[in-house]
Structure 1
Amino acid sequence: MGNVQVSLAGDATAGYWNPAGLLNQKAKYDAVLMHSELFSGIVKNEYAAFSMPLDDKSAIGASIIRVGVDNIADTRALVNEYGQISYDRINYFSVADYALLLSYARKLGNIEGLKLAGNGKIIYRNVGRFANAWGFGIDAGLQYDYKGWRLGLMARDITTTFNAWSINSDEFQGVAAQNDSIPTNSTEITLPRFILGVGRSVKLPGQITALVAVDLEMTTDGKRNTLVSSDAVSIDPKAGVEIGYKDLIFLRGGVSNFQKIDAAKSFDGKGGWRPSPVWA
């Protein structure tokens, strides 16, 4: 649905989309496992999540994420001291990001339909034996149900997420080009990102339902190639729809990632604004 889940999430995956949605869970326990691949299997995405209610007003969840590229060939030692190619001198390594999200959500008793939640997350990033980083951050989420409307707000990295990189400089000695600088230990920061969402489900004749949702993703790390772009905030709109029949068969579609393509660089030579459509 074009990634429009901030106002809709209501199972264990809410720990990722919006932890406030954990309170919409209908089962006592919920668990999700996922494996997906991009670029003909080069990039692998692993995801696992579990959630459960604590009582009628609160719920908890945990999510584990890994995104990585494996079996990258290190060919720096491919040529031996005699100038000959020796394939047994090739080493392989992986580049991967790991994240652990611990979620807590709670209903506010004085405002009907309002749910607040937060994520505490620990991040580990690894570039083989060359470098690794540890980081931490906090997300905050909100969902509000009002007269059939489902509203959501997700604030990712609301405190600014920090990653402290540790570089193994010995791995770069002797192989860096003459004018290349060897990386050093540093701190990487991720600035806050806000996602505002709204959705509504309606019943149609013939036991058919329609769910429509829109998200506005707002980034604060500089001007991006989005429909609304500025130095302070860039806004990327997303929209999705789901048509269901008897709560058994569903057709979903969405659009997101609107980008302006230069005519000289486009395949059809036309350029202009292009979305990324998705159907399932």
Structure 2
Amino acid sequence: MRYYSVILILVCSAFAKAQTSRAYSNEFLNIGVDAAALGMSNAVVASTSNVNAGYWNPAGLMQLEEKEISLMHSSYFANIAQYNYGAYAMPIDDQSAIGFSVIRFSVDDILNTTQLIDDQGNINYDRISTFSTADWAVTASYARESKLDGFSYGGNVKIIRRVIGDFASSIGFGIDLGVQLERGKWKFGAMVRDITTTYNTWSIDEDEFATVSDAVENQNQELPETTEITLPKLQLGIAREFVFHYDHVLLAEVDLNMRFIQTNDIFSSGSISATPALGLQYGYTDLVFVRAGVGNFQNVQQLDGNDDVTFQPNIGIGFKYKGISVDYALTDIGDQSAALYSNVFSLNIDLSVFR
């Protein structure tokens, strides 16, 4: 039981620290969606062109020809945390498209043992309860083709809801903007996340939060701040397709992911940080796909005080038949970085297959 009490305290402690961190807030939105994209280490901002473009770059929704849906599931921390995603998108006409998506990242059924022992020192197992900590994001996307040939643009409006049992909850709003440009076999893309900065306003139940403070003496005695700010991020990408003998297609993309704050990214200064990502996809007759990518290059301080560069290699495979795509990705193979290792599965369906 003490083990679960420690988990409870760590969760609430992490919540408290998150309120003052602007470099890493709402990080669940940076994990990514779609096993195909994750297999390419998220290097898809220029080439994304299906229902999942609502997440990666809403301008890519202009490539849709039919209504599509997408579902994804992955788990982290030995299946303790669950990540689920669903999306729907459709073209409105030849010049515009819309999409909607939902993300939930959660740890469920956490045992709350703070009331296990009463003021007289008596143990009562009936006083144990459970709670969940969950991050939600609901996004509406819109894309439009411009009068400039090959150029499209789009945006997201997102509502973010975060809940930590009965202890605290928050709500926030954000806006993303993206563009894509296609010139021959070359594709270019840019995506600005949280362009106006995203503010999460927290509501804290002081009585419930006090139970955590009382569980361990001298821990979590002060309430955290009630406003969390997510600063803008910029993603730039360039991609190209190479076709061999009609049936063999190689897609290669290089992205640069930038934050406007100092982090552990491989390129970092006082006001900006950046890390590259490279993704490859080989497709045969638009039926079988093999993917690989590397990204998330970080400077990580070792025990001896020196910095080592870590990176995250990903691989994946996919199958597509009559508008139904099933994809799998294995992220952070070989545990080469501090990132989360996971098996990711996703399903994309072109709804015209049911006509």
Q: TM-score range by the shorter chain?
A: over 0.9
Q: Does 1:99 align with 2:137?
A: yes
Q: Distance in 1 between matches of 2:101 and 2:151?
A: 23
Q: CA deviation digits over 1:98-150, x for unaligned, max 9? A: 111101100001x1000010111111110110011111011001000012111
% identity of equivalent residues: 43
* Structure 2 counterpart of 1:279, from 315, 339, 350: 315
Would you tell me which structure has more helix in proportion to its own residues?
A: 2
Query: What stretches of structure 1 of length at least 5 have no aligned partner?
Result: none
| Aligned twin of 2:114 | 76
Q: Does 1:197 align with 2:237?
A: yes
Q: Distance in 1 between matches of 2:312 and 2:230?
A: 25
* Structure 2 counterpart of 1:65, from 82, 86, 103: 103
Q: Distance in 2 between matches of 1:100 and 1:85?
A: 42
**Letter of the structure 1 residue corresponding to residue 60 of structure 2:** G
* Structure 2 counterpart of 1:171, from 187, 200, 208: 208
* Change in 2 beyond 3 A, CA 1:279/1:174: closer
| Aligned twin of 1:242 | 281
SS of 1:20's equivalent in the other structure is helix
* Preserved contact between residue 167 and residue 185 of structure 1 (Cα < 8 Å): no
| Aligned twin of 1:213 | 253
Greater RCO, CA 8 A, separation 6+: 2
* Preserved contact between residue 75 and residue 81 of structure 2 (Cα < 8 Å): yes
Q: Does 1:233 align with 2:269?
A: no
Offset at 1:14? 0.7
SS of 2:93's equivalent in the other structure is coil
Query: What stretches of structure 2 of length at least 5 have no aligned partner?
Result: 1-39, 317-355
SS of 1:264's equivalent in the other structure is coil
Q: CA deviation digits over 1:25-62, x for unaligned, max 9? A: 13x21001122111221111111100111110000000
Q: Does 1:108 align with 2:146?
A: yes
Q: Distance in 2 between matches of 1:258 and 1:85?
A: 49
Query: TM-score scaled to structure 1, two decimals?
Result: 0.92
Would you identify which runs of 4 or more consecutive aligned residues in structure 1 move more than 3 Å? Answer: 177-182, 261-266
Q: How does 1:260-279 map to 2 (within 5 A)?
A: 260-264=299-303, 272-279=308-315
Offset at 1:261? 3.4
Q: Distance in 1 between matches of 2:230 and 2:116?
A: 37
**Letter of the structure 1 residue corresponding to residue 132 of structure 2:** S
**Letter of the structure 1 residue corresponding to residue 80 of structure 2:** I
Q: Does 1:32 align with 2:70?
A: yes
| Aligned twin of 1:19 | 58
Would you tell me which structure has more strand in proportion to its own residues?
A: 1
* Change in 2 beyond 3 A, CA 1:67/1:9: same
Task: Kindly report the root-mean-square deviation, in angstroms, between the aligned alpha carbons of the 2 structures.
Answer: 1.9
Query: TM-score scaled to structure 2, two decimals?
Result: 0.73
Q: Does 1:6 align with 2:45?
A: yes
Bigger shift: residues 45-54 or 256-265 = 256-265
Q: Distance in 2 between matches of 1:71 and 1:179?
A: 23
**Letter of the structure 1 residue corresponding to residue 296 of structure 2:** N
